[in-house]
Amino acid sequence: MPGNALGVVGKGVFLLQPTPRNSAPEERMHPRPTAAAAATPEQLAAIDAAIARLQSLPGACLPILHAIQAALGFVPAEATARIAAALNLSRADVHGVLTYYHDFRSAPPGRHVLKVCRAEACQAVGSDALAAHVAARHGAAVGATSADGALTVEAIYCLGNCALGPSVQLDGRLCGRVDAARLDALLAAAKGADA
Amino acid sequence: MYSNKVLDLGTPAPRSTSTVTVHIDGKPIDVPAGTSVMRAAMEAGVKIPKLCATDSLDAFGSCRLCLVEVDGRKGTPASCTTPCEPGMKVKTQSEQLRKLRRGVMELYISDHPLDCLTCPANGNCELQDMAGAVGLREVRYGYEGENHLVGQKDTSNPYFTFDATKCIVCSRCVRACDEIQGTFALTVQGRGFDSKITAGPTDFLSSECVSCGACVQACPTATLMEKSIADAGQPDRAVTTTCAYCGVGCSFRAELQGNEVVRMVPDKDGKANHGHSCVKGRFAWGYATHPDRVKAPMIRDRISDPWREVSWEEAFAFAANKVKGIQQRYGAGAVGGITSSRCTNEETYLVQKLVRGGFGNNNVDTCARVCHSPTGYGLKSTLGESAGTQDFDSVEHTDCIIVIGANPTDGHPVFGSRMKQRLREGCGLIVIDPRRIDLVKTPHVRADHHLQLRPGTNVAVMNSLAHVIVTEGLEAKGYIAERCEQDAYDKWKAFISDQKNSPETLEEHTGVPAAEIRAAARLFAKAPNGAIYYGLGVTEHAQGSTGVMTIANLAMLTGNIGRPGVGVNPLRGQNNVQGSCDMGSFPHELPGYRHVGDPSVRALFEAEWGVKIQPEPGLRIPNMFDAAIDGSFKALYVQGEDIAQSDPDTQHVQKALESLECLIVQDIFLNETAKYAHVIFPGSSFLEKDGTFTNAERRISMVRKVMPPLAGLADWEVTVRFAEALGFPMHYRHPREIMAEIARLTPTFTGVSYEKLDRLGSIQWPCNDAAPDGTPYMHEKEFVRGKGRFFLTEFLPTPERTSKRFPLLLTTGRILSQYNVGAQTRRTGNKIWHDADVLDIHPVDAEARGIRHGDHVSLQSRKGDTTLRAVVSDRMQPGVVYTTFHHPESGANVVTTDNSDWATNCPEYKVTAVQVTRVAVDKSDWQRRFDEFAQQQEQLAERAQEVKK
């Protein structure tokens, strides 16, 4: 019953963070409500711009979500209601789409995003060890961002590069035959470019 | 979930006339083409295990429990998604199927808390039943794997809880919210093993959920569970009855433990609601046993005296003596009565009978005076009968809908959902309303045209629509020639074609762009089936009756009366407004809308009642108030209506009530009117009596007693005993005898009886020899009056105009969670959604006045002022503000004026010139006086309790 009684207006809105697939079961079962940081005016403008540009497409919800994530690196909580209003969908409709795809983030990622393939072929050639190495060495477990904000690590399921596993994708670039040393080099190069 | 004692056929009935024969486990059965194998089997008495299927929702095919084998086909198709084909031979049980089903159940149960004995759904759980049906004996996977067994219940909704640990993600709730209710508030969050039902990104209360209960009813487990069932346990019996809220008249199963209601569930067989409900009927029934209920008669000589609780005998004698004394001193016409649109047909009939026979005058009126009296007048004049032309099902055949002055998703939510279903199928929609009501734009529904007119200009907009249709040659020429009075039509055509009725000319008044009107007119005229739905936004105007006539004119002009999918459809406000009007509650009409001036009609009633009936019409409600103030009207018997809150110009009403020597109030609560009363007869809620209600589609439905009246007498018994005390005995042992009398005396009711109502479930009048099972849609071959008559409907701007002092227009209405004066809903959990009336104001008007969201604002008119909180909302148009009248202390009607409809005196609630200013104080002088008086009256009522002790 939105918007009728004052009592409901301005009530805190909590976003349930979609949890990464491979997190511990108890973590997956207890998505803690996290008070989402309010989007900045620039972020809201980016959301509105994406909506304005794409809303006339048939099935515009996904293209808009992609455009927002491309612009901001994540989809702020405020996007849900704005997309819903523009496309005449319910907020729940948009929430369902948004959470269905693991690719959409609800919080800003680190400066670099590393996707480690966790599908069977890569697992068979050591992607688990690779993930453990990243967590130990670079401070970001799969599904988390390092404390210095430099790196977010995500799981991905098959990059279509099975013959050359283990595979990762760093900032959108596919790399095969990745071992710990190669990964450290890749990350060092990427982080080095930041400076 | 729905009671598992009621058969669930699994999938909905298809709309098909041809049949196919299939064999289910060797049993041949004929079913309509398109019927699912599951439904065919259930109809044949063969139960197929199922979880994700229920007969209120389209088949989904996700649970894989309803698998069957079909001769000559490979595999084991899901019976819910497999349509019957001629000659199909289906096997529902085999060793293979048993293994498959057990396997499926094993997976479900491996991730389900095994707390059946302490679960609120125990005894009424489909998962439990299915585990039994498939013979589950062990879960080979154990219970230690990843699961969903830990989690917090969402208890935010006042009426039900959501416990994801018990969820099997069958999506029945999501689909019920989408398909039936049309709110789309639920979704599946995440995917795969992470899939979880949520109300979007928030909890239920903060979500888009409107608490209709469809999801709770659809849930096969205890995931979505009524708090009342969690508290009380499962019901042991059920009684079918009719909701006492709005004019949709939903049929409900009152589920009981002994005499205590534990749940109200919409009845799947209910012809008005087909198993759907809204937050009021489904959940907001707790007022019936609220501690505020009046449980004993009370009397006092002056309204400043404390109340005295007395026996029924003493109360009747006291009231009768007062009335007789007043009549001796001031004349027979100094007393009158008001019937209640919330009471049953039988009860309203008795009150008008008591007034005409016991008081000996025609001073009887009903709250329809202030809502739909123009409907009665307007439709009787044009079509010949004072009622809507269709049934609700008709909307399924409509191609273009006009909604004018109605807000179905708030005011008539169950029908609103039906309408939205049709709109999602592609039906056109034209909304004529000063506010952007939900229907204009709501998930998956968008109006083709929103004619956002200025309040008070309905007639201008409707005339301009008709002008476009006539001048562009889009009228239904053949229909008009065959079915309507030619002379009247020719005159009307000349009138409407005049340039003064063009959208371009009227734009200045209506504020609606002419091009938008032209486009809307063409859309409506060209639709094969066009239907008009309207509400109090049409009737509660100085030109209310004219507005109703413009609607009838437009429907005749486009040939849209007399078949399914079309028609003129007044959405009635209260549960029994149609019925109270039918039952002769008007000062000029006996039951069946027959004028008291007609000697032959009077003779009929005089013979039955054994009294003389006055030939002159009596006083209308506003006349009663005026006469009370001028001293010629001294006593009033009010059955279940709160005139002190609901009627316009509150201070005038208060003055009138204070002038009475004897005010007799019959109500379930000490309402605002009761504070001015000398006698209180405790009323009975709809759960405490037998009778009938008649809804907006003329449907007469049974109200059945599920518990004894709290004060000992049902309302009909109170009127009977009061009449006796007045020396006008009535001899009824049961309401069925009252209905028998109504049927004897009323041509449109001659075929109605309780026996037939029990048999058919409900009946739409006229029900007589010509239509023994009732009449779903009227005026089929010809109009009730013979030929339909076009009336000239000149637009006259209301005298209520904005000025420098009062530059804004106030319009009033209601919202979903509260009902009318709120006496019922304010005493339920619905408070959480609307605990105070607020003033909606457009951002432009707010900014000009320095008003921010949540500020206290003073709302002033020439009649009075009150203070509310502001809600800044772009639902409004600039220059128009809006409030509701659900809370007495808000004083919305302190502001409304004495303007009224020219024909019926229906008040012009919808247009009041006002000013709005930001104020520091939270109460106006009137509100402070109101508080003081309310407090004083509460103390006087409390002292009645003390005297008794």
* Three-state secondary-structure class, residue B631: coil
Which residues partner with B533 through β-bridges? B403, B569
Q: What is the mean pLDDT of residues A94-109?
A: 94
Give the DSSP H or E segment for B525: helix B514-526
Q: Which of A6, A7, A95 sits opposite B201 (nearest CB)?
A: A95
* Range(s) of the domain holding residue B308: 298-371+577-764
Is residue B905 within 8 Å of residue B620, measured between CB atoms?
A: yes
Q: How many helices (H) and strands (E) does chain B have?
A: 30, 36
pLDDT tens figures, B521-562: 999 999 999 999 999 999 999 999 999 999 999 999 999 999
Residue B393 has pLDDT above 80, yes or no: yes
Is B53 among the domain residues? Answer: no
Chosen from A91, A97, A106 to mutate, greatest number of chain B CBs within 10 A? A91
What gap in Å lies between CA A49 and CA A51, rounded to an integer?
5
Is residue A81 within 8 Å of residue A91, measured between CB atoms?
A: yes
Is residue B820 within 8 Å of residue B574, measured between CB atoms?
A: yes
pLDDT classification of A195: cutoffs 50, 70, 90: low
Is residue A31 within 8 Å of residue A107, measured between CB atoms?
A: no
Residue B892 has pLDDT above 70, yes or no: yes
Q: Do B562 and B581 reside in the same domain of the chain?
A: no
Nearest chain A residue (CA) to B871: A6
Is residue B566 within 8 Å of residue B346, measured between CB atoms?
A: no
Provide the shortest C-alpha distance from residue A23 to chain B (in Å). Answer: 11
What is the distance in angstroms between the CA of the first residue and the CA of the last residue of chain A? 51
Which one-letter amino acid corresponds to residue B628? A
Is residue B879 within 8 Å of residue B808, measured between CB atoms?
A: yes
Beta-carbon contacts of residue B594 (< 8 Å; ≥ 6 apart): B601
Which residues partner with B639 through β-bridges? B666
Is residue B660 within 8 Å of residue B635, measured between CB atoms?
A: yes
If one counts the domains in chain B, the total is 3
ipTM for the assembly: 0.93
∠ CA(B848), CA(B850), CA(B852), 5° rounding? 115
Q: What is the mean pLDDT of residues B930-944?
A: 91
How high is the pLDDT of residue B949?
A: 54
pTM: 0.92
Backbone φ, ψ for residue B665 (5° rounding): -115, 130
Residue A34 has pLDDT above 70, yes or no: no
Q: Tell me if A1 and B186 make a contact (CB, 8 A cut-off).
A: no
Chain A residues with CB under 8 Å of B194 CB are: 18-19, 21, 28
pLDDT tens figures, B695-732: 999 999 999 999 999 999 999 999 999 999 999 999 99
B820 touches chain A (CB under 8 A): no
| CATH number, domain A112-194 | 3.40.30.10
Q: Do B591 and B532 reside in the same domain of the chain?
A: no
Chain B residues with CB under 8 Å of A79 CB are: none
pLDDT tens figures, B757-773: 999 999 999 999 999 99
Residue with tokens 């009127």: B719
- Looking at B655-744, which runs of residues are DSSP E strands? 662-667, 679-682, 691-694, 699-703
Q: Tell me if A92 and B188 make a contact (CB, 8 A cut-off).
A: no
Q: Do B445 and B391 reside in the same domain of the chain?
A: yes
How high is the pLDDT of residue B734?
A: 97
Q: Tell me if B833 and A4 make a contact (CB, 8 A cut-off).
A: yes
pLDDT classification of A100: cutoffs 50, 70, 90: very high
Question: Token digits for B846?
Answer: 């707010």
Of the three residues B711, B730, B764, the one that is the final residue of a domain is B764
8-state DSSP, B154: B
What gap in Å lies between CA B860 and CA B896, rounded to an integer?
10
Which one-letter amino acid corresponds to residue B580? S
Could you tell me what percent of chain B has a pLDDT over 90?
A: 94
Residue B140 has pLDDT above 80, yes or no: yes
Q: Tell me if A92 and B836 make a contact (CB, 8 A cut-off).
A: no
What gap in Å lies between CA B368 and CA B548, rounded to an integer?
15
Q: Do B468 and B351 reside in the same domain of the chain?
A: no
Q: What is the mean pLDDT of residues B107-125?
A: 94
What gap in Å lies between CA B949 and CA B942, rounded to an integer?
11
Q: What is the mean pLDDT of residues B506-513?
A: 97
* Three-state secondary-structure class, residue B886: coil
The structural domains of chain A, with segments of one domain joined by +, span 37-108, 112-194
Is residue B66 within 8 Å of residue B49, measured between CB atoms?
A: yes
Rg of chain B (C-alpha set): 29
Burial of A12 by CB count in 10 Å (0-12 exposed, 13-18 middle, 19+ buried)?
exposed
Question: Token digits for B747?
Answer: 């041509």
Alpha helices in B636-714 (DSSP H): 643-646, 650-659
Q: Tell me if B198 and A3 make a contact (CB, 8 A cut-off).
A: no
How high is the pLDDT of residue A193?
A: 81
What gap in Å lies between CA B243 and CA B706, rounded to an integer?
13
Alpha helices in B541-576 (DSSP H): 544-557
Residue pairs spanning A and B at CB distance below 8 A: 119
Chain A residues with CB under 8 Å of B851 CB are: none
B191 touches chain A (CB under 8 A): yes
Is B510 among the domain residues? Answer: yes
Q: Tell me if A93 and B443 make a contact (CB, 8 A cut-off).
A: yes
Q: Tell me if A4 and B854 make a contact (CB, 8 A cut-off).
A: no
How high is the pLDDT of residue B340?
A: 92
Q: What is the mean pLDDT of residues B348-364?
A: 97
pLDDT tens figures, B463-473: 999 999 999 99
Is B854 among the domain residues? Answer: yes
Residue with tokens 């069957």: B68
Chain B residues with CB under 8 Å of A84 CB are: 443
Interfacial B residues in 531-590 facing A (CB < 8 Å): none
| CATH number, domain A37-108 | 1.10.10.1590
Q: Do B812 and B748 reside in the same domain of the chain?
A: no
Chosen from B156, B175, B202, B409 to mutate, greatest number of chain A CBs within 10 A? B202
Task: Give residue B182's region: left, alpha or beta (phi > 0; psi -120 to 50).
Answer: left
Give the DSSP H or E segment for B840: strand B838-841
Is B271 among the domain residues? Answer: no
pLDDT tens figures, B21-45: 999 999 999 999 999 999 999 999 9
Q: Do B611 and B704 reside in the same domain of the chain?
A: yes
Residue B82 has pLDDT above 90, yes or no: yes
Q: Tell me if A91 and B853 make a contact (CB, 8 A cut-off).
A: no
What gap in Å lies between CA B834 and CA B484, rounded to an integer?
47
Chain B residues with CB under 8 Å of A6 CB are: 836, 838, 854, 869, 871
Is B121 among the domain residues? Answer: no
Chosen from A11, A22, A29 to mutate, greatest number of chain B CBs within 10 A? A29
- Chain A residue set in contact with B, beta carbons under 8 Å: 1-9, 11, 13-16, 18-19, 21, 25-26, 28-30, 77, 80, 84, 88-96, 99-100
What gap in Å lies between CA B457 and CA B811, rounded to an integer?
12
Of the three residues B550, B570, B590, the one that is the final residue of a domain is B570
Write the CATH number for B545: 3.40.228.10
Question: For all residues of chain B together, what is the average pLDDT?
Answer: 95
Q: Which of A9, A18, A93 sits opposite B187 (nearest CB)?
A: A93
Write the CATH number for B756: 3.40.50.740
Q: What is the mean pLDDT of residues B793-815?
A: 94
pLDDT classification of A29: cutoffs 50, 70, 90: very low
Residue with tokens 């049927």: B743
How high is the pLDDT of residue A6?
A: 37
Buried b (16+ CB within 10 A) or exposed e, B128-145: bbbbebbebeebeeeeee
Which one-letter amino acid corresponds to residue A21? R
Q: Do B387 and B436 reside in the same domain of the chain?
A: yes
Q: How would you write chain A as a 3-class SS string?
A: CCCCCCCCCCCCCCEECCCCCCCCHHHHHCCCEECCCCCCHHHHHHHHHHHHHHCCCCCCHHHHHHHHHHHHCCCCCHHHHHHHHHHCCCHHHHHHHHHHCCCCCCCCCCCEEEEEECCHHHHHCCHHHHHHHHHHHHCCCECEECCCCCEEEEEECCCCCHHHCCCEEECCEEECCCCHHHHHHHHHHHHHHHC
Crossing angle between the packed helical segments A78-87 and A61-72, to the nearest 10 degrees: 150
Is B164 among the domain residues? Answer: no
∠ CA(B297), CA(B300), CA(B306), 5° rounding? 95
Is residue B578 within 8 Å of residue B246, measured between CB atoms?
A: no
**How many CB atoms are closer than 10 A to CB B291?**
6
Is B220 among the domain residues? Answer: no
Could you tell me what percent of chain B has a pLDDT over 70?
A: 100
Task: Give residue B852's region: left, alpha or beta (phi > 0; psi -120 to 50).
Answer: beta
